[in-house]
Amino acid sequence: METEDGIGETSQLDNEIGGDTILEPKSKMEFNSFEEVMTYYKQYAKSIGFGVMTRRTEKGDDGTVRYATLSCARGGKARNRTLNVASPKKSRFFRCNREVSDSVKRVLDTNDLAGIRMNKSFRSLVVGAGGFENLPFLENDCRNYIDKARHLRLGAGGAGALQEYFLRMQYKNPGFFASMDLDDDERLKNVFWADPCSRAAYEDFGDVVTFDTTYLTNRYGMPFAPFVGVNHHGQSILLGA
């Protein structure tokens, strides 16, 4: 920040978060950016037992935030009577205060590639930290990270291998159809395929087709959705996937 005398000042964030104690918010506090405002309020809220969220923002023509309304992360929601989170020790359970660090992500990746189940992997992190209360995240946060990581592992190499397989199938039988959709990083986003038997079945029994997304998980965290029809014997038949 610049004063009228042209002498630079450190921001309120440096003064109050740099020490061991985070001062209570007060009028006329100054920050260098909106990001610093959010960092300050998140740390302050976590220290006394609640979470913070951005309720509303207004931006100028240059895209910078000119006005913002912050509120408690539980604002407007019914109180959870089964879990008392009104203490600093339990404020880590709020989503805005939970974070999986890069070092923990590396451990999760290594264990997942080694075939170690998530419950055992998380248990080892608990033991290493000296208890659940010393971890800034929950087991569900670890599962969410691994689901995303598995999806990204099916990158250009995985997509290329799948495409080669489809080409071999089409070479064996021109009636085999497949279509792939990649993102800008050449990672697989969507894929559709139908073998000759399925395509022939659709010609005869394509009056009613169901699109089922019951099977939502695989090792890459991608949903599997088969197109299913019914033949003249009342049996389900696969028309594509």
Query: Which residues lie below 8 Å from residue 78, measured CB to CB, with a gap of 6+?
Result: none
In this prediction, residue 228 carries a pLDDT of 92
Which pLDDT score is estimated for 11? 45
End-to-end CA distance of the chain: 58
Beta bridge partner(s), residue 131: none
Nearest alpha-carbon partner for 51 in 17, 97, 85: 97
Contacts of 125 (CB under 8 A, 6+ apart): 104, 107, 135, 142
Single-letter residue type at 134: N
pLDDT, residue 13, reads 46
Whether the full predicted model's pTM is greater than 0.75, yes or no, is: no
pLDDT in tens, the chain (241 residues): 333 443 344 444 444 444 456 788 888 888 888 888 888 888 888 777 777 778 788 888 887 888 888 888 766 655 554 444 446 555 555 665 677 888 888 889 888 878 888 889 898 998 888 887 788 888 888 888 887 777 666 555 667 777 788 888 888 888 899 988 877 766 677 889 999 999 999 999 988 898 877 666 555 566 788 999 999 998 999 999 9
User: Cβ–Cβ contacts within 10 Å for residue 104, how many?
Assistant: 21
Q: What is the pLDDT of residue 93?
A: 58
Q: What is the dihedral of CA 91, 96, 101, 107, to 10 degrees?
A: 80
CA dist 180 to 8, 129, 187, 200, Å? 56, 44, 10, 22
Q: Are 13 and 38 in contact (CB under 8 A)?
A: no
Ramachandran area for residue 22 (φ above 0: left; ψ -120 to 50: alpha; else beta): beta
Among the listed residues 39, 40, 139, 47, the one whose alpha carbon sits nearest the alpha carbon of residue 90: 47
Where is 240: in which H helix or E strand? strand 236-240
Q: Domain spans of the chain?
A: 1-97, 99-153, 156-240
